[in-house]
Amino acid sequence: MNLLFVADPLELFKPYKDSTFAMMREAAARGHVVWACEPAQLHWQRGAPVRAAVRRLVLSGSLGPDWYEASDAEVRGLCDFDAVLMRKDPPFDSEYFYATHLLQRAEADGARVFNSPRALRDHPEKLAIMEFPQYIGPTLVTRSADDVRAFHAEHRDIILKPLDGMGGMGIFRVNADGLNLGSIIETLNRQGEQTLMVQRYLPEIVKGDKRILVIDGEPVPFSLARIPQGSEIRGNLAAGGKGVAQPLSERDREIATAIGQVLAPRGLLLAGLDVIGDSLTEINVTSPTCFQEIAQQTGFNVAGMFIDALERALAAGR
């Protein structure tokens, strides 16, 4: 099969840890042909399908900068590929939003796109948890500074974060003394112009912010607990957290199975759930990561499970 990955620039990949690279490597090992382009290379013109300037990749086996060789770019319709995998990293900004519309137009041309462009738009990564209140801790979404102050007065120890952050960016903790709460609210909501999320602080974070991968509705049997280091409250690997793979708990599996059965029929072949203790905190659908960290520590082939699911979906016409 010919698989097109819509992703960040290839020269920015870190092959020793990149989940998209793990997908490419597994696909190539099975004899599939790997192609790549960036969202900026997608285009549409009246009378033609959505097309892109794409390059065919040959993987070298290296984990260094020379991890691939690429052909010269050629313009091809996305419908010419057996599958298109949207793997552009957040932020989910205006350009990402526009890319999903181009990808949805490509679906109308006959392209098979994973994750579904419509589902990507319908499941913003912070707000998607609102559909599953039975699995989350106390949470508030608001623009109102008064709402935030009332939430703090009730819960005393809270986390505030922007809705468009990634990798732990812009996350603040305010404990019972309320120190700098006003300044943090001003920073995040910009005088009421931007919506933010507030959650009760979960002390279980010291044991890790667990990334649970769900593939075609089924949880990967291991999570990656991203454990804050030093004085940090954030477990995100991008913020210096230490990743420790561990088997799913009974509660982890309950959450992941229930949510996976909802998300998979909507076209979300891959999702990454963030769980602290027994509470769901985020649902990541743009380009969930941690494939390689889990595989390296446990021997479980996460990329193999993903490509299996992709092959099944294509064979079934999903």
Amino acid at 267: G
Is 219 in a helix, a strand, or coil? strand
Which listed residue (26, 107, 125, 274) is catalytic?
Answer: 274
What local confidence, expressed as pLDDT, does residue 309 receive? 98
Phi first, then psi, for residue 19 (nearest 5°) are -70, -35
Tokens of 29: 């090992």
Question: Is CATH 1.10.10.10 what the domain over 204-315 is classified as, yes or no?
Answer: no
Alpha-carbon distance 86 to 114, whole Å? 6
Angle separating helix axes 19-29 and 302-315, nearest 10 degrees = 60
| SS3 labels along 155-178 | HCCEEEEECCCCCCCCCEEECCCC
Amino acid at 277: G
What local confidence, expressed as pLDDT, does residue 216 receive? 98
- Asked about 14 being catalytic, the answer comes back as no
Alpha-carbon distance 200 to 179, whole Å? 16
As a CATH number, domain 138-201 is: 3.30.1490.20
What local confidence, expressed as pLDDT, does residue 128 receive? 97
What does pTM read for this prediction? 0.94
Which listed residue (115, 252, 284, 293) is catalytic?
Answer: 284
314: enclosing H helix or E strand: helix 302-315
Query: Tens of pLDDT along the chain (318 residues)?
Result: 999 999 999 999 999 999 999 999 999 999 999 999 999 999 999 999 999 999 999 999 999 999 999 999 999 999 999 999 999 998 889 999 999 999 999 999 999 999 999 999 999 989 999 999 999 999 999 999 999 999 999 999 999 999 987 777 889 999 999 999 999 999 999 888 999 999 999 999 999 999 999 999 999 999 999 998 877 777 677 767 899 999 999 999 999 999 999 999 999 999 999 999 999 999 999 999 999 999 999 999 999 999 999 999 999 987
Tokens of 74: 């050629």
Alpha-carbon distance 279 to 275, whole Å? 5
Q: For residue 47, give Cα distances in angstroms to 51, 235, 264.
A: 12, 48, 33
- Asked about 76 being catalytic, the answer comes back as no
As a CATH number, domain 2-115 is: 3.40.50.20
Which listed residue (51, 126, 200, 210) is catalytic?
Answer: 126
What local confidence, expressed as pLDDT, does residue 105 receive? 98
What residue segments make up the domains of the chain, in order of their start? 2-115, 138-201, 204-315
- Asked about 274 being catalytic, the answer comes back as yes
- Asked about 26 being catalytic, the answer comes back as no
- Asked about 234 being catalytic, the answer comes back as yes
Alpha-carbon distance 16 to 173, whole Å? 32
What local confidence, expressed as pLDDT, does residue 239 receive? 67
Which listed residue (25, 87, 112, 234) is catalytic?
Answer: 234
- CB count within 10 Å of CB 134 equals 7
- Asked about 25 being catalytic, the answer comes back as no
Alpha-carbon distance 309 to 316, whole Å? 10
Phi first, then psi, for residue 61 (nearest 5°) are 95, -10
